[in-house]
Copies of this chain bind each other. A is one copy, B any other.
Amino acid sequence: YSKDLYEGNEFAGVVTGLAWTAVGGEILFIESSLSRAKGDKLILTGNLGNVMKESAAIALQYVKSHSRELGIDDELFEKYQLHVHVPEGAIPKDGPSAGITMATSIVSAFTQRKVRSCLAMTGEITLRGKVLPVGGIKEKILAAKRAGITDIILSVENRKDVEDIDAMYISGLTFHYVKTVMEVIDKALLDEKVAHYREL
């Protein structure tokens, strides 16, 4: 991952995640987009490994099976085809830690709700909605700060990893510890829609 900066919250369906690579931490963007098409095949791009593809499938299933709580009309899953992409295509990506970012991205795409500003997140999703801890927390947090992020969502089980970091490295950052995917979505998505929202 090249060194990216936070890019704002103008677009529905675009959420900032955190990755941990051989050369340190990085932010990455999860992009979800809908198009009118028959069937409900999930399209995944961005040079993703199998575990990361599975994360997207779990995130979509979570969103579908909680559509009522999330305020998404079930018919949208039939009427629209979902495509989830993770730039940059030349870089292979894998692992489960983008799970909650994918779920948030998908909900934003289907609701057109605006993503909270300057927010990033990392955590594995389970089908029942539990948020599991992930690795590389220190490197990911440093990368987030460098990129201009101010708020970070993590599993409560990653709290100890944050507390191990020297305070000077994390000044100015607010951590939001969560247990469930529903908490992630509540924290990450505003009730308002994006400025140029699409009528679904």
Contact = CB atoms under 8 A, between A and B. Distances in A.
Contact of A90 (B14, B62, B95): B95
B54 A83 contact: no
A61 B44 CA distance: 11
A170 interface: no
B65 A35 contact: yes
A132 interface: yes
A35 B70 CA distance: 14
A83 B50 CA distance: 16
B37 A89 contact: no
A17 interface: no
Interface residues of A, number: 47
A90 B31 CA distance: 22
Given A47-B50, A124-B87, A132-B88, A33 B62 contact: yes
A55 B85 CA distance: 10
A103 to B, nearest CB: 13
B33 A65 contact: yes
Given A35-B65, A37-B77, A77-B36, A126 B58 contact: no
Cβ-closest 6 pairs across A and B = A89-B96, A35-B64, A31-B127, A85-B127, A45-B54, A61-B83
Given A33-B65, A33-B127, A35-B77, 4 more contacts: A45-B57, A45-B127, A58-B83, A90-B124
Interface of A: 7, 11, 13-14, 29, 31-38, 40, 43, 45-47, 50-51, 54-55, 57-58, 61-62, 64-65, 74, 77-78, 83, 85, 87-90, 95-96, 99, 124, 126-128, 130, 132, 198
